[in-house]
Structure 1
Amino acid sequence: MERIKLAIEKAKAAESDSSRSDAPRLRDSSDSGVSGGDHKAAVRREVAGDDLGSMQYSKTAVVSLDAIHLERHRIIAHQKSHPDSWAFDVLRTQVLQKMDENGWRTLAITSPSVESGKTVVSINLAISIAQLTNRTALLVDFDLRRPSVARSLGLNRSLSLNDLLSERVDMDEVLVNPGIERFVVLPTNQPVTGASEVLSSSRVGNLIGDLRERYADRIVIFDLPPVLAADDVMTVLPRIDCVLMVVGSGMSTQSEVEEAMNRLSKANLLGVVLNKDEAQVQNAYY
Structure 2
Amino acid sequence: MTEQSKIPLPPEGEGKEGKSLIERAGDAFGFGNFTPAPVPGKLADAPNRRVAKRAATQPGKAPATQSPADMSSAGDQGETTPAHDDKAAFSPPVPRIAFRAPPVAVDRGHLRESGLIEPDGPVTQLVEEFRIVKRQLLANMEKARKRGDGRAQRVLVCSPLPGEGKTFCATNLALAMAAEKDSEVLLVDADFAKPSILSLLGLQGGKGLMDALANAQIHVEDCVITTDIPGFFVLPAGSQTASDSEFLASGHTAEIFDRLTQGAPNRIVIFDSPPALAASPAAELAKYVSQALVVVRADQTGQSALEDTLSLLSTCPDIQLLLNAANFSPSGRRFGAYYGYGD
Quote the residue 2:179 is aligned against. 131
Matched, 1:149 2:202: no
Misfit runs of 4+, over 6 Å: none
2:103/2:225 contact within 8 Å kept: yes
Give a deviation string over 1:46-82, Cα, whole Å, max 9, x none: xxxxxxxx97636323111112321222211523433
Quote the residue 1:95 is aligned against. 137
Q: Distance in 1 between matches of 2:316 and 2:96?
A: 32
Which TM-score applies when normalising by structure 1? 0.74
The structure whose Rg is larger is 2
Give a deviation string over 1:122-153, Cα, whole Å, max 9, x none: 11111111111111111111111211111111
Where does structure 1 lack aligned partners over 5 or more consecutive residues? 1-53
Whichever residue aligns with residue 182 of structure 2, its letter is N
Q: Distance in 2 between matches of 1:215 and 1:109?
A: 21
Quote the residue 2:164 is aligned against. 116
Q: Distance in 1 between matches of 2:260 and 2:221?
A: 12
Quote the residue 2:223 is aligned against. 174
Give the aligned CA root-mean-square deviation in angstroms: 2.2
Quote the residue 2:334 is aligned against. 282
Matched, 1:235 2:297: no
Quote the residue 2:72 is aligned against. none
1:98/1:270 contact within 8 Å kept: no
Quote the residue 1:76 is aligned against. 117
Q: Distance in 1 between matches of 2:257 and 2:287?
A: 11
Q: Secondary structure at the match of 1:62?
A: coil
User: Aligned residues, how many?
Assistant: 233
Quote the residue 2:212 is aligned against. 164
Deviation (angstroms), 1:229: 1.1
Quote the residue 1:67 is aligned against. 108
Of 186, 190, 195, 2:235 maps to 186
Of 105, 115, 126, 2:153 maps to 105
Deviation (angstroms), 1:166: 4.1
Distance 1:213 1:58, change over 3 A: closer
Identity %: 28
Distance 1:55 1:204, change over 3 A: closer
Deviation (angstroms), 1:223: 0.9
- 188-197 vs 163-172, which moves further: 163-172
Matched, 1:246 2:319: no
Distance 1:267 1:176, change over 3 A: same
Where does structure 2 lack aligned partners over 5 or more consecutive residues? 1-94, 146-151
2:96/2:263 contact within 8 Å kept: no
- Determine which structure has greater relative contact order: mean sequence separation of CA pairs < 8 Å that are 6+ residues apart, divided by chain length: 1
Quote the residue 1:85 is aligned against. 127
Q: Distance in 2 between matches of 1:207 and 1:156?
A: 23
2:214/2:247 contact within 8 Å kept: no
1:113/1:251 contact within 8 Å kept: no
Q: Secondary structure at the match of 2:125?
A: coil
Q: Secondary structure at the match of 1:211?
A: helix
Q: Distance in 2 between matches of 1:207 and 1:72?
A: 34
Deviation (angstroms), 1:277: 1.7
